[in-house]
Chain A
C-alpha cells in the first residue's frame, strides 16, 4: 500500500477571496507581518500497489480528471 498526498492550490493570478478573508482575520488576531495567504486543499489517498511509479502515474491521472480543476488550480503529489 502506498500513501499519496495531493495538494491542490490556486494558480498564481487567480483571485482567492477566501485566502484574503483569512489574511484579514489573522491580522485581526494580532499576527503581523503576514504576506499573502492562499487557501488550498489536501487529499490523502491509499493506492493498493507496491509500484511507486505506477501509483504516481495513477494519482496524476486522478488529479487531471477530478481532484484539480486545471483551469484554475495546480497540484503536487507526494508519495510515502
Chain B
C-alpha cells in the first residue's frame, strides 16, 4: 500500500506521521506540498495535525480552500482513503468531506494529555485491526476539538455507523457532542479524528495502541 502525507505551512505533525507510516508499512510515504494539484497515485492520503495557515479565520478554513484540497476531494470521491488527524480533521470538515464542525473546546483550554477511546465501529477500513468496543489509549493535543453537528446530521451519522471512535466514559476532553472523537464519511473511505494515533505506535512512545489504525488503513494486519 502506498501512502502520502500532505504538507502545508503551519502543519507540524507531518514528521511524526511520516515516521508512523514508514515504520508500520515499511515504506516511506510520498509528500504532497500545498501547491500540488496532481496527486500521486496512492492508496492512502494523510493530512496531519498542526496549525495550518496559523488557524486564521477558523481552524482548517484556509487549508480547506486551497487547490490541493480540491485535488484531494476528487481523489476521495474516486475512493482513495483519506485520513485527517487533529488539524487534518478540522480541514476535512471545513472542506465538506466530513459532516459537522469542530469548535473551541468547552473548557476554552488547550488540552494536551492522554485519553481513552472506545472503538465504536470496528468494521471500517481504519479500525478493523481493533475489536468492536475495545478501549484504547491515545494522546490528544488541541484547542478546537469540540465536535458539533445539528440534530439531524448527528442522528444520521449515528444511525449509519459513521462514528468510529468515542471518548471513553469520563475522558471527553473538549465537550464534543455524543463524546465523538472520530468519524467517517458515508462512503467509509474518509476518516477524521482529533486524537493522535501516530504518537502511540512503539515502546518508546509508552505504548502502541495507535498502531491498529495504521495497520488497518495500510492493510498490514498480521494474520
**Which residue numbers of B lie inside 8 Å of A, CB to CB?**
57-58, 61, 65, 93-94, 99-101, 103-108, 146, 148-150, 175
* Interface pair B107/A72, CB less than 8 Å apart: no
From B94, which residue of chain A is reached at the shortest CB distance?
A69
Residues of chain B lying within 8 A (CB to CB) of residue A15: 103, 106, 146, 148, 175
How many Å lie between the Cα of A59 and that of B163 in the bound state?
35
Q: Are B108 and A18 in contact (CB under 8 A)?
A: yes
Contacts of B149 in A (CB 8 A): 71
A21 and B108 alpha carbons, distance in the complex (Å)? 9
Is the CB–CB distance between B61 and A72 below 8 Å?
no
With an 8 Å Cβ cutoff, the count of chain A residues facing the other chain is 11
Please name the residue on chain B nearest to A71 by beta carbon.
B101
A67 to B58, CA, bound (A): 9
CA–CA, A37 and B175, complex, Å: 19
Chain A residues 9-62 with CB under 8 Å of chain B are: 14-15, 17-18, 21
By the criterion CB–CB under 8 Å, are A66 and B65 in contact?
yes
Query: Would you list the 7 A-B pairs with minimal beta carbon distance, nearest first?
Result: A71-B101, A72-B101, A17-B108, A17-B106, A69-B101, A17-B104, A21-B108
**CB-nearest residue of chain B relative to A68?**
B58
